[in-house]
């Protein structure tokens, strides 16, 4: 079942700008299709009652594949979206967003939102 927010960032208006990963879209989709195959293969291993060590090796390979796609997307985000945010003066918001994504991907708890920095002399 598809999510109603599929293709949109939650809580953000559509910008109609191409996503930074658009140039790597075919590569990302190929990697995701390969991961789907890995998941099906792991399920077959479980159905065939294969060794725990073999299943764990395959889950480690799947995790590495997921991490690889996540890193590709993060790199594209930093080089595209973050660069645009810096140019438009939205550095803190974009940096906080990147850090939140990194925390979640590492299984770390979220931090409370930071208070806006005061401007000197204000």
- Provide the terminal-to-terminal Cα distance of the chain, rounded to the nearest Å: 51
pLDDT score of 97: 84
Inside any domain, residue 68: yes
Average pLDDT, the chain: 79
pLDDT score of 8: 42
Nearest to 85 by CA among 32, 5, 12, 3: 12
pLDDT score of 16: 58
For residues 29 and 35, give the distance between their C-alpha atoms in angstroms, rounded to a whole number. 10
Burial class of residue 65, CB neighbours in 10 A (0-12, 13-18, 19+): middle
Inside any domain, residue 94: yes
Residues 112-122: tens digit of each pLDDT: 666 655 555 54
Residues 5-27: tens digit of each pLDDT: 334 444 454 455 677 677 788 99
Pseudo-torsion of CA 8, 14, 20, 25, nearest 10°? 40
pLDDT score of 21: 73
* Residue pointed to by tokens 């293969």: 41
pLDDT over 90 (residue 57)? yes
Inside any domain, residue 2: no
Range of the domain at 29: 22-105
Count of structural domains, the chain? 1
- CATH number for the domain spanning 71: value is 1.20.58.1000
For residues 66 and 99, give the distance between their C-alpha atoms in angstroms, rounded to a whole number. 18
């Amino acid at each position: 079942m598809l999510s109603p927010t599929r293709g949109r960032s939650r809580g953000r208006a559509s910008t109609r700008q191409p996503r930074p990963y658009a140039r790597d879209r075919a590569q990302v989709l190929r990697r995701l299709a390969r991961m789907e195959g890995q998941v099906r293969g792991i399920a077959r291993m479980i159905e065939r009652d294969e060794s725990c060590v073999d299943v764990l090796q395959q889950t480690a390979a799947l995790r590495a594949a997921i991490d690889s796609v996540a890193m590709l997307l993060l790199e594209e985000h930093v080089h595209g979206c973050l660069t645009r945010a810096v140019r438009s003066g939205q550095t803190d918001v974009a940096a906080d967003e990147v850090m939140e994504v990194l925390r979640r991907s590492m299984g770390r708890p979220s931090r409370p939102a930071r208070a806006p920095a005061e401007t000197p002399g204000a």
